[in-house]
Protein backbone atom coordinates (compact mmCIF):
# COMPACT_ATOMS: atom_id res chain seq x y z
CA UNK A 1 0.00 0.00 0.00
CA UNK A 2 1.54 3.33 -0.99
CA UNK A 3 1.50 6.42 1.17
CA UNK A 4 -1.70 7.84 -0.23
CA UNK A 5 -3.85 4.87 -1.28
CA UNK A 6 -5.42 4.45 2.15
CA UNK A 7 -6.82 7.98 1.95
CA UNK A 8 -8.96 7.57 -1.13
CA UNK A 9 -10.45 4.19 -2.02
CA UNK A 10 -10.90 0.72 -0.60
CA UNK A 11 -9.72 -2.20 -2.69
CA UNK A 12 -12.25 -4.62 -4.14
CA UNK A 13 -11.22 -7.11 -1.46
CA UNK A 14 -11.81 -4.58 1.30
CA UNK A 15 -15.25 -3.73 -0.07
CA UNK A 16 -16.09 -7.43 -0.21
CA UNK A 17 -15.06 -7.84 3.43
CA UNK A 18 -17.24 -4.90 4.48
CA UNK A 19 -20.20 -6.34 2.58
CA UNK A 20 -19.75 -9.81 4.05
CA UNK A 21 -19.47 -8.55 7.62
CA UNK A 22 -22.48 -6.23 7.24
CA UNK A 23 -24.60 -9.08 5.86
CA UNK A 24 -23.55 -11.35 8.71
CA UNK A 25 -24.21 -8.66 11.33
CA UNK A 26 -27.62 -7.76 9.94
CA UNK A 27 -28.62 -11.40 10.17
CA UNK A 28 -26.85 -12.74 13.26
CA UNK A 29 -25.64 -9.85 15.44
CA UNK A 30 -28.08 -6.92 15.28
CA UNK A 31 -31.18 -9.02 16.15
CA UNK A 32 -29.66 -9.88 19.54
CA UNK A 33 -28.05 -6.54 20.39
CA UNK A 34 -30.93 -5.19 22.50
CA UNK A 35 -31.27 -8.43 24.50
CA UNK A 36 -27.52 -8.64 25.06
CA UNK A 37 -27.60 -5.11 26.50
CA UNK A 38 -30.79 -5.61 28.51
CA UNK A 39 -29.62 -8.89 30.03
CA UNK A 40 -25.97 -7.81 30.33
CA UNK A 41 -24.90 -11.14 28.87
CA UNK A 42 -22.04 -12.14 26.61
CA UNK A 43 -23.14 -12.01 22.93
CA UNK A 44 -22.89 -15.74 22.38
CA UNK A 45 -24.77 -15.62 19.08
CA UNK A 46 -22.38 -13.02 17.69
CA UNK A 47 -19.34 -14.91 18.96
CA UNK A 48 -20.50 -18.10 17.23
CA UNK A 49 -21.30 -16.30 13.98
CA UNK A 50 -18.04 -14.35 13.89
CA UNK A 51 -15.98 -17.45 14.60
CA UNK A 52 -17.75 -19.47 11.91
CA UNK A 53 -16.96 -16.75 9.36
CA UNK A 54 -13.36 -16.29 10.60
CA UNK A 55 -14.09 -12.72 11.68
CA UNK A 56 -13.44 -13.32 15.40
CA UNK A 57 -9.69 -12.66 15.07
CA UNK A 58 -9.11 -11.68 11.43
CA UNK A 59 -5.68 -10.18 12.15
CA UNK A 60 -3.97 -13.51 12.90
CA UNK A 61 -1.42 -14.24 10.14
CA UNK A 62 -2.09 -17.07 7.70
CA UNK A 63 1.06 -18.90 8.83
CA UNK A 64 -0.66 -19.54 12.17
CA UNK A 65 -3.98 -20.54 10.61
CA UNK A 66 -5.61 -17.10 10.65
CA UNK A 67 -7.30 -15.08 7.94
CA UNK A 68 -4.25 -12.83 7.61
CA UNK A 69 -6.33 -9.67 7.33
CA UNK A 70 -4.37 -6.44 7.08
CA UNK A 71 -4.94 -3.59 9.51
CA UNK A 72 -7.54 -1.90 7.31
CA UNK A 73 -9.50 -5.12 6.78
CA UNK A 74 -9.51 -5.69 10.54
CA UNK A 75 -10.76 -2.14 11.04
CA UNK A 76 -13.59 -2.78 8.56
CA UNK A 77 -14.63 -5.91 10.45
CA UNK A 78 -14.71 -4.08 13.79
CA UNK A 79 -16.47 -1.03 12.34
CA UNK A 80 -19.25 -3.11 10.81
CA UNK A 81 -19.78 -5.23 13.94
CA UNK A 82 -19.88 -2.06 16.09
CA UNK A 83 -22.51 -0.58 13.75
CA UNK A 84 -24.76 -3.42 14.88
CA UNK A 85 -23.54 -4.06 18.45
CA UNK A 86 -20.55 -2.48 20.17
CA UNK A 87 -20.36 -5.25 22.77
CA UNK A 88 -19.94 -7.80 19.98
CA UNK A 89 -17.26 -5.70 18.27
CA UNK A 90 -15.09 -6.19 21.32
CA UNK A 91 -14.63 -9.83 20.31
CA UNK A 92 -12.37 -9.12 17.30
CA UNK A 93 -11.03 -5.92 18.87
CA UNK A 94 -9.89 -7.48 22.14
CA UNK A 95 -8.63 -10.62 20.45
CA UNK A 96 -6.28 -8.33 18.54
CA UNK A 97 -5.38 -6.29 21.63
CA UNK A 98 -4.61 -9.38 23.69
CA UNK A 99 -2.62 -11.26 21.06
CA UNK A 100 -0.81 -8.44 19.28
CA UNK A 101 2.03 -8.40 21.87
CA UNK A 102 2.85 -11.95 20.73
CA UNK A 103 2.91 -10.86 17.09
CA UNK A 104 5.17 -7.93 17.98
CA UNK A 105 7.63 -9.63 20.32
CA UNK A 106 6.78 -13.29 20.94
CA UNK A 107 8.96 -16.24 20.04
CA UNK A 108 7.98 -18.33 17.01
CA UNK A 109 6.97 -21.16 19.33
CA UNK A 110 4.75 -18.90 21.42
CA UNK A 111 3.12 -17.45 18.30
CA UNK A 112 2.46 -20.87 16.82
CA UNK A 113 0.90 -22.18 20.03
CA UNK A 114 -1.32 -19.27 21.05
CA UNK A 115 -2.07 -17.47 17.79
CA UNK A 116 -2.88 -20.85 16.31
CA UNK A 117 -5.28 -21.60 19.16
CA UNK A 118 -6.89 -18.18 18.76
CA UNK A 119 -7.32 -18.64 15.02
CA UNK A 120 -8.89 -22.08 15.54
CA UNK A 121 -11.42 -20.60 17.94
CA UNK A 122 -10.09 -22.46 20.97
CA UNK A 123 -10.31 -19.34 23.13
CA UNK A 124 -10.26 -15.56 23.14
CA UNK A 125 -7.34 -13.34 24.17
CA UNK A 126 -7.54 -10.53 26.74
CA UNK A 127 -5.03 -7.83 27.68
CA UNK A 128 -4.06 -7.21 31.30
CA UNK A 129 -2.30 -3.88 31.75
CA UNK A 130 -4.46 -1.68 34.04
CA UNK A 131 -4.63 -2.11 37.80
CA UNK A 132 -6.66 -0.53 40.62
CA UNK A 133 -3.96 2.13 41.11
CA UNK A 134 -2.43 2.08 37.62
CA UNK A 135 -4.72 3.30 34.87
CA UNK A 136 -3.34 6.10 32.73
CA UNK A 137 -0.12 5.80 34.75
CA UNK A 138 0.67 2.25 33.68
CA UNK A 139 4.20 2.32 35.14
CA UNK A 140 2.64 2.48 38.62
CA UNK A 141 1.62 -1.17 38.32
CA UNK A 142 2.26 -3.45 41.27
CA UNK A 143 1.72 -6.91 39.79
CA UNK A 144 4.97 -8.81 40.26
CA UNK A 145 6.59 -11.69 38.44
CA UNK A 146 9.45 -13.41 40.27
CA UNK A 147 11.79 -15.93 38.63
CA UNK A 148 11.88 -19.35 40.23
CA UNK A 149 14.11 -21.74 38.30
CA UNK A 150 12.57 -22.37 34.89
CA UNK A 151 9.29 -20.74 35.94
CA UNK A 152 7.89 -17.32 36.78
CA UNK A 153 5.49 -16.78 39.69
CA UNK A 154 2.95 -13.96 39.24
CA UNK A 155 1.03 -12.12 41.95
CA UNK A 156 -1.26 -9.13 41.60
CA UNK A 157 -4.60 -7.73 40.52
CA UNK A 158 -5.53 -6.44 37.06
CA UNK A 159 -8.61 -4.25 36.64
CA UNK A 160 -10.89 -3.26 33.75
CA UNK A 161 -10.05 -6.42 31.83
CA UNK A 162 -12.36 -6.76 28.84
CA UNK A 163 -13.90 -10.21 28.29
CA UNK A 164 -12.20 -11.48 31.46
CA UNK A 165 -13.55 -14.90 32.35
CA UNK A 166 -14.64 -15.49 28.76
CA UNK A 167 -11.15 -15.42 27.29
CA UNK A 168 -8.91 -18.46 27.62
CA UNK A 169 -5.66 -16.50 27.24
CA UNK A 170 -4.31 -13.32 28.83
CA UNK A 171 -1.33 -11.14 28.06
CA UNK A 172 -0.24 -10.00 31.52
CA UNK A 173 2.16 -7.09 32.01
CA UNK A 174 4.07 -7.39 35.29
CA UNK A 175 7.06 -5.92 37.14
CA UNK A 176 10.13 -8.16 37.03
CA UNK A 177 12.65 -5.61 38.38
CA UNK A 178 11.21 -2.72 40.44
CA UNK A 179 14.50 -0.81 40.30
CA UNK A 180 14.42 -0.37 36.52
CA UNK A 181 11.01 1.33 36.11
CA UNK A 182 9.82 0.85 32.53
CA UNK A 183 12.83 -1.34 31.76
CA UNK A 184 11.87 -3.63 34.64
CA UNK A 185 8.46 -4.59 33.23
CA UNK A 186 7.87 -7.81 31.27
CA UNK A 187 4.99 -9.46 29.41
CA UNK A 188 3.67 -13.01 29.84
CA UNK A 189 0.97 -15.32 28.52
CA UNK A 190 -1.29 -16.59 31.28
CA UNK A 191 -3.98 -19.18 30.69
CA UNK A 192 -7.40 -19.13 32.31
CA UNK A 193 -6.78 -22.69 33.52
CA UNK A 194 -3.50 -21.87 35.28
CA UNK A 195 -3.71 -22.56 39.00
CA UNK A 196 -4.16 -19.33 40.97
CA UNK A 197 -6.06 -17.42 38.26
CA UNK A 198 -9.49 -16.15 39.29
CA UNK A 199 -11.90 -13.34 38.41
CA UNK A 200 -13.90 -10.68 40.20
CA UNK A 201 -17.60 -10.00 39.72
CA UNK A 202 -18.58 -8.35 36.42
CA UNK A 203 -18.61 -4.56 36.63
CA UNK A 204 -22.04 -2.91 36.43
CA UNK A 205 -21.50 -0.51 33.55
CA UNK A 206 -23.15 2.32 31.67
CA UNK A 207 -22.64 0.63 28.31
CA UNK A 208 -21.04 -2.32 26.48
CA UNK A 209 -22.96 -4.46 28.92
CA UNK A 210 -22.57 -7.55 26.78
CA UNK A 211 -18.80 -7.53 27.15
CA UNK A 212 -17.82 -8.64 30.66
CA UNK A 213 -15.34 -6.36 32.43
CA UNK A 214 -13.81 -7.99 35.52
CA UNK A 215 -10.76 -7.96 37.72
CA UNK A 216 -8.22 -10.70 37.15
CA UNK A 217 -6.56 -12.06 40.29
CA UNK A 218 -3.14 -13.71 40.11
CA UNK A 219 -2.36 -15.66 43.27
CA UNK A 220 1.02 -17.39 43.02
CA UNK A 221 0.38 -18.22 39.38
CA UNK A 222 3.31 -20.38 38.31
CA UNK A 223 4.01 -20.46 34.57
CA UNK A 224 6.86 -21.83 32.42
CA UNK A 225 9.61 -19.32 31.63
CA UNK A 226 9.03 -19.72 27.90
CA UNK A 227 5.68 -17.97 28.30
CA UNK A 228 7.48 -14.63 28.61
CA UNK A 229 6.72 -12.48 25.56
CA UNK A 230 10.00 -11.13 24.23
CA UNK A 231 13.05 -10.50 26.39
CA UNK A 232 12.87 -9.67 30.08
CA UNK A 233 12.37 -5.95 30.62
CA UNK A 234 10.75 -5.28 27.23
CA UNK A 235 7.15 -5.68 28.36
CA UNK A 236 6.33 -2.00 28.77
CA UNK A 237 7.71 -1.13 25.35
CA UNK A 238 5.69 -3.96 23.81
CA UNK A 239 2.55 -2.82 25.64
CA UNK A 240 2.90 0.73 24.31
CA UNK A 241 3.63 -0.45 20.76
CA UNK A 242 0.52 -2.60 20.97
CA UNK A 243 -1.64 0.38 21.92
CA UNK A 244 -0.30 2.41 18.99
CA UNK A 245 -1.88 -0.20 16.71
CA UNK A 246 -5.00 -1.07 18.67
CA UNK A 247 -6.12 2.50 19.27
CA UNK A 248 -7.03 2.36 15.60
CA UNK A 249 -9.48 -0.44 16.39
CA UNK A 250 -11.16 1.73 19.03
CA UNK A 251 -11.49 4.45 16.40
CA UNK A 252 -13.15 1.82 14.19
CA UNK A 253 -15.61 0.95 16.97
CA UNK A 254 -16.42 4.63 17.35
CA UNK A 255 -16.99 5.09 13.62
CA UNK A 256 -19.20 2.00 13.58
CA UNK A 257 -21.49 3.02 16.42
CA UNK A 258 -21.70 6.58 15.06
CA UNK A 259 -22.69 5.23 11.63
CA UNK A 260 -25.29 2.95 13.20
CA UNK A 261 -26.83 5.87 15.07
CA UNK A 262 -26.78 8.10 11.99
CA UNK A 263 -28.39 5.38 9.86
CA UNK A 264 -31.21 4.96 12.36
CA UNK A 265 -31.73 8.71 12.77
CA UNK A 266 -31.91 9.20 8.99
CA UNK A 267 -34.53 6.49 8.62
CA UNK A 268 -36.57 7.83 11.50
CA UNK A 269 -36.45 11.43 10.26
CA UNK A 270 -37.88 10.36 6.92
CA UNK A 271 -40.80 8.50 8.52
CA UNK A 272 -41.71 10.64 11.52
CA UNK A 273 -44.23 13.35 10.71
CA UNK A 274 -44.97 16.53 12.63
CA UNK A 275 -46.87 19.62 11.48
CA UNK A 276 -48.04 17.67 8.43
CA UNK A 277 -44.65 16.74 6.96
CA UNK A 278 -41.60 14.58 7.52
CA UNK A 279 -39.34 16.03 10.20
CA UNK A 280 -36.50 15.51 7.69
CA UNK A 281 -37.97 18.44 5.76
CA UNK A 282 -37.18 20.88 8.56
CA UNK A 283 -33.96 22.79 7.96
CA UNK A 284 -32.93 22.75 11.62
CA UNK A 285 -32.94 18.94 11.58
CA UNK A 286 -31.26 18.80 8.17
CA UNK A 287 -28.35 20.85 9.49
CA UNK A 288 -27.99 18.49 12.45
CA UNK A 289 -28.00 15.44 10.16
CA UNK A 290 -25.51 17.11 7.81
CA UNK A 291 -23.08 17.76 10.66
CA UNK A 292 -23.47 14.18 11.86
CA UNK A 293 -22.74 12.76 8.41
CA UNK A 294 -19.81 15.11 7.81
CA UNK A 295 -18.13 14.25 11.10
CA UNK A 296 -18.67 10.49 10.76
CA UNK A 297 -17.00 10.56 7.35
CA UNK A 298 -14.11 12.67 8.63
CA UNK A 299 -13.61 10.20 11.49
CA UNK A 300 -13.77 7.28 9.06
CA UNK A 301 -11.12 8.73 6.75
CA UNK A 302 -8.81 9.49 9.67
CA UNK A 303 -9.31 5.95 10.97
CA UNK A 304 -8.53 4.38 7.61
CA UNK A 305 -5.47 6.60 7.23
CA UNK A 306 -4.29 5.43 10.67
CA UNK A 307 -4.96 1.81 9.69
CA UNK A 308 -2.69 2.23 6.69
CA UNK A 309 0.05 3.51 8.96
CA UNK A 310 -0.52 0.61 11.34
CA UNK A 311 -0.10 -1.86 8.49
CA UNK A 312 3.10 -0.23 7.27
CA UNK A 313 4.50 0.56 10.72
CA UNK A 314 5.00 4.21 9.77
CA UNK A 315 6.97 6.52 12.04
CA UNK A 316 3.93 8.72 12.59
CA UNK A 317 1.62 5.85 13.68
CA UNK A 318 1.71 7.00 17.32
CA UNK A 319 0.29 10.39 16.32
CA UNK A 320 -2.27 8.98 13.89
CA UNK A 321 -3.41 6.21 16.23
CA UNK A 322 -4.00 8.69 19.04
CA UNK A 323 -5.62 11.24 16.71
CA UNK A 324 -7.98 8.71 15.11
CA UNK A 325 -9.02 7.25 18.45
CA UNK A 326 -9.54 10.67 20.04
CA UNK A 327 -11.36 12.30 17.13
CA UNK A 328 -13.55 9.33 16.22
CA UNK A 329 -14.64 8.72 19.80
CA UNK A 330 -15.53 12.38 20.33
CA UNK A 331 -17.52 12.22 17.08
CA UNK A 332 -19.25 9.02 18.21
CA UNK A 333 -20.37 10.65 21.43
CA UNK A 334 -21.67 13.76 19.64
CA UNK A 335 -23.42 11.83 16.89
CA UNK A 336 -25.13 9.33 19.20
CA UNK A 337 -26.34 12.13 21.49
CA UNK A 338 -27.73 13.94 18.45
CA UNK A 339 -29.38 10.74 17.21
CA UNK A 340 -31.26 10.55 20.51
CA UNK A 341 -32.29 14.18 19.95
CA UNK A 342 -33.59 13.41 16.45
CA UNK A 343 -35.85 10.73 17.89
CA UNK A 344 -37.03 13.03 20.68
CA UNK A 345 -38.85 11.23 23.48
CA UNK A 346 -38.64 7.94 21.63
CA UNK A 347 -34.86 8.21 21.52
CA UNK A 348 -34.81 8.33 25.30
CA UNK A 349 -36.44 4.90 25.61
CA UNK A 350 -34.96 1.44 25.32
CA UNK A 351 -37.53 0.57 22.66
CA UNK A 352 -35.19 2.26 20.17
CA UNK A 353 -31.48 1.47 19.72
CA UNK A 354 -29.98 4.96 19.80
CA UNK A 355 -29.92 5.30 23.59
CA UNK A 356 -27.94 2.06 23.76
CA UNK A 357 -25.59 3.37 21.10
CA UNK A 358 -25.12 6.59 23.09
CA UNK A 359 -24.23 4.63 26.23
CA UNK A 360 -21.91 2.32 24.32
CA UNK A 361 -20.16 5.22 22.55
CA UNK A 362 -19.03 6.78 25.83
CA UNK A 363 -16.45 4.11 26.60
CA UNK A 364 -14.59 4.81 23.36
CA UNK A 365 -13.52 8.15 24.87
CA UNK A 366 -12.09 6.36 27.90
CA UNK A 367 -10.54 2.96 27.27
CA UNK A 368 -7.15 2.25 25.68
CA UNK A 369 -6.12 5.68 26.92
CA UNK A 370 -8.51 8.50 27.79
CA UNK A 371 -8.86 11.24 25.23
CA UNK A 372 -6.96 13.54 27.56
CA UNK A 373 -4.04 11.10 27.41
CA UNK A 374 -4.40 10.92 23.62
CA UNK A 375 -3.97 14.68 23.44
CA UNK A 376 -0.81 14.43 25.53
CA UNK A 377 0.48 11.75 23.15
CA UNK A 378 -0.34 13.86 20.11
CA UNK A 379 1.25 16.99 21.54
CA UNK A 380 4.47 15.15 22.34
CA UNK A 381 4.58 13.76 18.81
CA UNK A 382 4.00 17.19 17.30
CA UNK A 383 6.66 18.80 19.48
CA UNK A 384 9.09 16.05 18.51
CA UNK A 385 8.41 16.76 14.83
CA UNK A 386 7.24 13.20 14.15
CA UNK A 387 3.96 13.94 12.36
CA UNK A 388 4.34 13.69 8.60
CA UNK A 389 2.95 16.22 6.12
CA UNK A 390 1.30 14.64 3.12
Q: What is the tens place of the pLDDT at every residue in 124-172?
A: 999 999 999 999 999 999 999 999 999 999 999 999 999 999 999 999 9
Average pLDDT over residues 20-25: 98
pLDDT (0 to 100) of residue 31: 98
Last residue of a domain, one of 235, 258, 293: 235
Average pLDDT over residues 52-57: 98
Number of structural domains, the chain? 3
Domain of 84, CATH number, reads 1.10.540.10
pLDDT (0 to 100) of residue 9: 80
Q: Is residue 389 part of a domain?
A: no
Query: Are 129 and 111 within one domain?
Result: no
Query: Are 106 and 21 within one domain?
Result: yes
pLDDT (0 to 100) of residue 8: 63
The mean pLDDT of the chain is 96
The separation between CA 374 and the C-alpha centre of its own chain, rounded to angstroms, equals 15
Query: Are 13 and 106 within one domain?
Result: yes
Query: Are 113 and 21 within one domain?
Result: yes
Query: Are 230 and 291 within one domain?
Result: no
Please say if the pLDDT value at position 30 is more than 90.
yes
Query: Are 68 and 164 within one domain?
Result: no
Q: Which residues are catalytic?
A: 368
Q: Is residue 24 part of a domain?
A: yes
- pLDDT category at 254 given cuts 50, 70, 90 is very high
- pLDDT category at 1 given cuts 50, 70, 90 is very low
Percentage of residues in the chain with pLDDT exceeding 70? 97
Please say if the pLDDT value at position 339 is more than 90.
yes
Q: Is residue 388 part of a domain?
A: no
Average pLDDT over residues 162-183: 97
Q: Is residue 154 part of a domain?
A: yes
Percentage of residues in the chain with pLDDT exceeding 90? 96
Please say if the pLDDT value at position 32 is more than 60.
yes
Query: Are 220 and 145 within one domain?
Result: yes
Average pLDDT over residues 102-129: 98
Please say if the pLDDT value at position 229 is more than 70.
yes
Q: Is residue 321 part of a domain?
A: yes
Last residue of a domain, one of 119, 151, 184: 119
Average pLDDT over residues 196-215: 98
pLDDT (0 to 100) of residue 324: 98
Last residue of a domain, one of 168, 200, 235: 235
Domain of 133, CATH number, reads 2.40.110.10
pLDDT (0 to 100) of residue 386: 85
Average pLDDT over residues 214-233: 98
Domain that holds residue 49: 5-119
Please say if the pLDDT value at position 390 is more than 80.
no
Rg (CA), the chain: 21
Q: Is residue 299 part of a domain?
A: yes
Domain of 360, CATH number, reads 1.20.140.10
Q: State the SS3 of the chain.
A: CCCCHHHCCCCHHHHHHHHHHHHHHHHHCHHHHHHHHHHCCCCHHHHHHHHHCCCCCCCCCHHHCCCCCCHHHHHHHHHHHHHHCHHHHHHHHHHHHHHHHHHHHCCHHHHHHHHHHHHCCCCCEEEECCECCECCCHHHCCCEEEEECCEEEEEEEEEEEECCCCCCEEEEEEECCHHHHHHHEEEEEEECCCCCEEECCCCCCCCCCCCCEEEEEEEEEEEEHHHEECCCCCHHHHHHHHHHHHHHHHHHHHHHHHHHHHHHHHHHHCCCEECCEEHHHCHHHHHHHHHHHHHHHHHHHHHHHHHHHHHHCCCCHHHHHHHHHHHHHHHHHHHHHHHHHHHHHHHHCCCCCHHHHHHHHHHHHCCCCCHHHHHHHHHHHHHCCCCCCC
Query: Are 190 and 299 within one domain?
Result: no
Amino acid sequence: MNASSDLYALTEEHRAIRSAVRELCDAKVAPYAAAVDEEARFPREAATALQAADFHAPHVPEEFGGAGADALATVLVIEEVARACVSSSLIPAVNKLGSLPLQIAGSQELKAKYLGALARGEGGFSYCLSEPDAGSDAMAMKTRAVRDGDHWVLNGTKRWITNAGESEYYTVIAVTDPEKRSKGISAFVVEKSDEGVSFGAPEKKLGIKGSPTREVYLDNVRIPADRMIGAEGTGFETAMKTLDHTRVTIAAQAVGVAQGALDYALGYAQERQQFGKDIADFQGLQFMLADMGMKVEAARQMTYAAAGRSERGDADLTFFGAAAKCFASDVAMEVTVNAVQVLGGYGFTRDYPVERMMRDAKITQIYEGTNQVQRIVMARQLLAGVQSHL
